[in-house]
């Protein structure tokens, strides 16, 4: 491990706790080192198989194409078993390599590849073999029109060509979708306890019932079942090919211990997938290989694991009771599983990398909470999961800890201990707010209690809901500040486009700030503009879904998700038992401050005329530094437990949330959220100066946090302020990031106080909270000497990452966030 984690460990060494991190085994340490030193690369194996399949099978369309494509991958993709591995499965042919998914969107990749920029990126570079690059450039143009993004582009509503470029929604009028729908969780319980042979048999019997009587809509149903049988075959085939490879390696292995281990792996892999799992190792391997299958089919993008401790707990206990495994051995298996998940990554467009850096794949795991009947769900595996993250100092996979009134003290303490080492892991989630919020959106109580977190912070029924929390693709983000700026600028974006020219009338003509006689008029204009753009945003997401549900069905996922086999529909077509579509508002802090500043400066204190303030922001504060400083220092700001500003955070979030929650998609209603991942940095670059003193291009505020450095009264005041938002309304998740110095938790009382801080926030109605526990000084040192801080994990919004791998603007943003020093 690098210097930083040692430094952190040293700082924490005087911590007395019942929860102790035990050292990892030698081979785990070896794999971890390999993980931290291997440079990610691009593997074209999947690309080749899929490209050939698509070119040879234009006659196949829709769900059968997706199913056959998956089975074909399972039959042909080389199986890779690395040295020392026990949990196996991979999407590529080299260690830490990423596979390619041309079916979704490929133009950006071809362009970056042709430019030769991919290995030279300043953030998330990937190596690629020259011959492989040549092959892709020769064959890739096929995908420019075949990929989903191109198909969506063809269906963009005509009116949107005027509304695009507003800086409010994420969509443009072409190349709109660089990512798949992602953001889902399978029903792992079914894969583990039932197996794919039984699932296939169920689908087959449904087919038999329909055979020869395909009346009405039943052709679609019939072919859905047919697709399920195909992907079940694929999944079983993949597992058996891994089993065969283990047997082959076992036969030539000279170390008797490893030989035995490989034989056991072969036995496990030839049994699982087809049959119900027997042991802890079976269940763990089944979970991971199914996940690999889901990624091979749907591309990894916020594909989450759900309630891992709930799947594995009973297997662990049975194995321990029967003497089949020791605790240490089980922990090592879990470590190895974590390292496999950590190894996974996907290449993003450079532009999107700025928003989601750090080779992250968002395969969130959920710990703790309550069971379906409301009892505490903590088990031995809950602790083991925290142990793995802590002792491996891993930022990926991310983990969320569900908190309820009966969460055991030991689990609290283990979580605080872990977050101290692997900053931001786990996040803390409040059952008392999330369960009712999910019931509000239609889940029955048992299902709501069984929720897990998806992607970044999005709550969803575990295995029975298609909540689409990323809003189809990555396009869930909505810039509240952008809507406000258009509202006071007659519906035009004050920020020039990349060509340096100002855009035209993209929003409603709501007038100019200096024409508004009262503050109520400002609010009215903001509300109109916000609702107008929410409606456009929903229109675009629905358009996306209209196309995706015809071309990118997810039969492998639908094979387990509750409701699909019953209804004969895949998840993309409304087959899941429960449905919704997510959205995520950003810049709450900026819009609250901007509204408060406008009210305070123009209408209440009359310190400046509306025309003066308008001119100041349109000119990006040129020559108005004095005014800007006055606003930063003297005007009211959200985050200080003051009603004057906090009511605008509530007002703006209500307007946005109510509009989103009232919208409908083809399957069901929409669900609002308030989290940015790092879109607040990206959107900030596209957002003009704002009345709160922010200059054009600067990052927006993060999640529901106050504007950076504007929370001047400490964390309790911040928490009171953010509690003014009606968080239950945001069932797609809220995000609050707080940063503490490591000194904050130096002793037991420090830890108890942090626990009490979270508990109070949750009692006040807070939904989610996460921490960075590092000092600003350490972060600045890390910027200067990245080599010495390889292991420094920080939490950026929805996920944790290695600090030194972040884009400079994200690094600066993290440093800038007010440090909460104790």
Partner 1 sequence: MQKEITGKVYDIQGFSVQDGPGIRTTVFMKGCPMRCPWCHSPESQEFHTQLLWMSMKCAGLDLCTKCLDACAKGAISPGRIKENAATQEAVRHIHIDRATCDNCGDCAEVCYRNALYMCGTDYTVEDLLDRVLKDKPFYEQSGGGVTISGGEPLSQPEFVLRLLERLKECGVHTAVDTTGYAKYDIVKMILPHTDLFLYDLKHMDSRRHKIMTGVPNELILENAQKIAEDGGKIQIRIPIIPDFNDSAGSIRETGAFCQSLGEAVTVIQLLPYHNLGVMKYERIDDSRLVLETAPPSDGKINSLKALLENMGLPVTVH
Which residues in this chain contact partner 1 in the complex, by CB under 8 A?
A: 625-627, 629-630, 633-634, 641, 713-717, 719-720, 744, 747, 749-750, 752-753, 756-757, 759-760, 763-764, 820, 822
Backbone φ and ψ of 725, nearest 5°: -75, 135
Q: Distance (Å, rounded) from C-alpha 645 to C-alpha 590? A: 11
CB nearer to partner 1: pick between 227 and 627: 627
Backbone φ and ψ of 584, nearest 5°: -140, 115
Q: Distance (Å, rounded) from C-alpha 650 to C-alpha 759? A: 22
Backbone φ and ψ of 346, nearest 5°: -135, 150
Least distance in angstroms from the C-beta of 622 to partner 1? 15
Q: Distance (Å, rounded) from C-alpha 503 to C-alpha 537? A: 19
- Whether residue 651 contacts residue 598, with contact meaning beta carbons closer than 8 Å, is answered with no
Least distance in angstroms from the C-beta of 626 to partner 1? 6
Least distance in angstroms from the C-beta of 627 to partner 1? 8
Under DSSP, is residue 42 helix (H, G, I), strand (E, B) or coil?
A: strand
Least distance in angstroms from the C-beta of 16 to partner 1? 12
CB nearer to partner 1: pick between 676 and 715: 715
Least distance in angstroms from the C-beta of 5 to partner 1? 20
CB nearer to partner 1: pick between 22 and 747: 747
Q: Distance (Å, rounded) from C-alpha 595 to C-alpha 98? A: 45
Q: Distance (Å, rounded) from C-alpha 87 to C-alpha 306? A: 19
CB nearer to partner 1: pick between 333 and 608: 608
Least distance in angstroms from the C-beta of 708 to partner 1? 15
Least distance in angstroms from the C-beta of 630 to partner 1? 4
Least distance in angstroms from the C-beta of 195 to partner 1? 47
Q: Distance (Å, rounded) from C-alpha 786 to C-alpha 428? A: 29
Least distance in angstroms from the C-beta of 633 to partner 1? 4
Q: Distance (Å, rounded) from C-alpha 583 to C-alpha 574? A: 18
Contacts of residues 5-13 at CB distance under 8 Å and 24 or more positions apart, as own/partner, are: 5/393, 5/421, 5/791, 5/792, 7/778, 8/420, 8/421, 8/742, 8/774, 9/421, 11/742, 11/743, 11/746, 12/420, 12/421, 12/742, 12/745
Q: Distance (Å, rounded) from C-alpha 200 to C-alpha 227? A: 10
Q: Nearest to residue 229, comparing CAs of 196, 260, 259, 252?
A: 196
Beta-bridge partners for 376: 370
Least distance in angstroms from the C-beta of 777 to partner 1? 12
DSSP letters along 145-211, please? HHSHHHHHHTT--TTHHHHTT-SSBS--SSS---S-S---B--HHHHHHT-HHHHHHHHHHHHHHHT
Between the alpha carbon of residue 79 and those of residues 240, 274, 746, the distances in Å are 10, 18, 47
CB nearer to partner 1: pick between 324 and 816: 816
CB nearer to partner 1: pick between 516 and 719: 719
Beta-bridge partners for 489: 512
Least distance in angstroms from the C-beta of 629 to partner 1? 5
Q: Nearest to residue 773, comparing CAs of 2, 1, 4?
A: 4
Q: Distance (Å, rounded) from C-alpha 734 to C-alpha 756? A: 20
């Amino acid at each position: 491990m690098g210097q930083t984690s040692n430094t952190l460990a040293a700082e924490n060494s005087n911590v007395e706790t019942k929860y102790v991190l035990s050292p990892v085994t030698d081979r785990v340490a070896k794999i971890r080192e390999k993980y931290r030193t291997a440079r990610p690369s691009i593997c074209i194996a999947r690309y080749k198989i899929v490209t050939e399949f698509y070119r040879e099978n234009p006659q196949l369309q829709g769900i059968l194409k997706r199913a056959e494509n998956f089975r074909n991958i399972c039959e042909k993709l080389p199986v890779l078993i690395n040295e020392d591995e026990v949990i196996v499965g991979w999407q590529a042919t080299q260690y830490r390599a990423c596979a390619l998914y041309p079916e979704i969107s490929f133009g950006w990749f071809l362009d970056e590849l042709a430019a030769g920029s991919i290995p030279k990126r300043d953030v998330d570079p990937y190596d690629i073999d020259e011959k492989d690059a040549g092959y892709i450039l020769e064959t890739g143009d096929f995908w420019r029109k075949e990929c989903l993004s191109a198909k969506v582009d063809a269906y963009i509503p005509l009116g949107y060509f005027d509304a695009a470029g507003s800086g409010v929604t994420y969509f443009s009028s072409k190349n709109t979708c660089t990512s798949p729908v992602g953001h889902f969780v399978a029903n792992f319980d079914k894969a583990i306890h039932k197996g794919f042979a039984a699932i296939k048999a169920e689908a087959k019997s449904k087919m038999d019932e329909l055979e020869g009587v395909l009346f009405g809509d039943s052709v679609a149903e019939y072919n859905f079942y047919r697709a399920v049988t195909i992907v079940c075959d694929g999944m079983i085939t993949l597992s058996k090919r891994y089993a065969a490879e283990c047997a082959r390696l076992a036969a030539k292995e000279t170390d008797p211990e490893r030989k035995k281990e490989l034989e056991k792996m072969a036995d496990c892999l030839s049994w699982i997938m087809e049959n119900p799992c027997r042991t802890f190792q079976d269940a763990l391997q089944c979970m991971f290989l199914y996940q690999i299958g889901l990624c091979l089919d749907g591309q990894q993008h916020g594909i989450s694991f759900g309630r891992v401790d709930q799947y594995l707990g009973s297997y662990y206990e049975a194995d321990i009771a029967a003497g089949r495994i020791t605790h240490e051995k089980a922990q090592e298996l879990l470590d190895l599983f974590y390292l496999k998940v950590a190894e996974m990554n996907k290449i993003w467009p450079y532009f999107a990398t700025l928003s989601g850096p750090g080779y992250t794949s968002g395969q969130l795991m959920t710990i703790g909470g309550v069971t379906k009947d409301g009892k505490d769900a903590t088990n031995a595996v809950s602790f083991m999961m925290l142990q793995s993250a802590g002792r491996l100092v891993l930022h990926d996979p991310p983990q969320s800890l569900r908190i309820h009134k009966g969460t055991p003290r030991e689990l609290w303490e283990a979580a605080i201990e872990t977050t101290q080492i692997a900053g931001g892991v786990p996040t803390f989630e409040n059952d008392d707010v999330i369960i009712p919020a999910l019931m509000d959106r239609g889940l029955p109580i048992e299902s709501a209690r069984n929720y897990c977190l998806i992607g970044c912070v999005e709550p969803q029924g575990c295995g029975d809901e298609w909540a689409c929390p990323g809003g189809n693709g990555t396009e869930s983000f909505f810039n509240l500040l952008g809507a406000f700026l258009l509202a006071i600028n007659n519906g035009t974006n004050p920020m020039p486009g990349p060509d340096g020219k100002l855009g035209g009338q993209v929003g409603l003509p709501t007038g100019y700030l200096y024409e508004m006689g009262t503050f109520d008029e400002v609010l009215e204009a903001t509300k109109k503009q916000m609702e107008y753009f929410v409606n456009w945003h929903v229109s675009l997401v629905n358009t996306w879904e209209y196309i995706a549900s015809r071309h990118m069905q997810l039969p492998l996922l639908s094979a387990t998700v509750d409701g699909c086999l019953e209804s004969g529909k895949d998840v993309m077509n409304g087959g899941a038992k429960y449905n919704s579509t997510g959205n995520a508002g950003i810049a709450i802090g900026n819009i609250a401050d901007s509204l408060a500043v406008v009210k305070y400066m123009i209408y209440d204190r009359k310190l400046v005329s509306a025309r003066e303030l308008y001119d100041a922001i349109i000119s990006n504060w040129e020559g108005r530094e004095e005014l800007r400083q006055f606003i930063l220092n003297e005007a009211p700001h959200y985050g200080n437990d003051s009603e004057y500003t906090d009511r605008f955070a509530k007002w703006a979030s209500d307007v946005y949330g109510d509009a989103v929650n009232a919208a409908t998609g083809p399957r069901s209603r929409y669900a609002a959220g308030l989290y940015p991942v790092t879109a607040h940095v990206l959107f900030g670059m596209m957002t003009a100066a704002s009345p709160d003193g922010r200059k054009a291009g600067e990052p927006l505020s993060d999640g529901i946090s106050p504007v950076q450095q504007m929370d001047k009264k400490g964390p309790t005041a911040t928490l009171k302020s953010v509690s003014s938002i009606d968080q239950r309304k945001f069932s797609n998740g809220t995000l609050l990031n707080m940063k503490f110095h490591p000194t904050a938790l130096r002793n037991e009382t420090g830890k108890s106080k942090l626990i009490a801080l979270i508990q109070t926030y949750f009692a006040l109605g807070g939904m989610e909270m996460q921490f960075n526990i590092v000092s600003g000084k350490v972060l600045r040192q890390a910027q200067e000497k990245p080599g010495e801080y390889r292991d420094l994990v920080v939490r950026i919004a929805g996920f944790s990452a290695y600090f030194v791998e972040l884009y400079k603007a994200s690094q600066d943003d993290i440093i800038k966030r007010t440090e909460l020093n104790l």
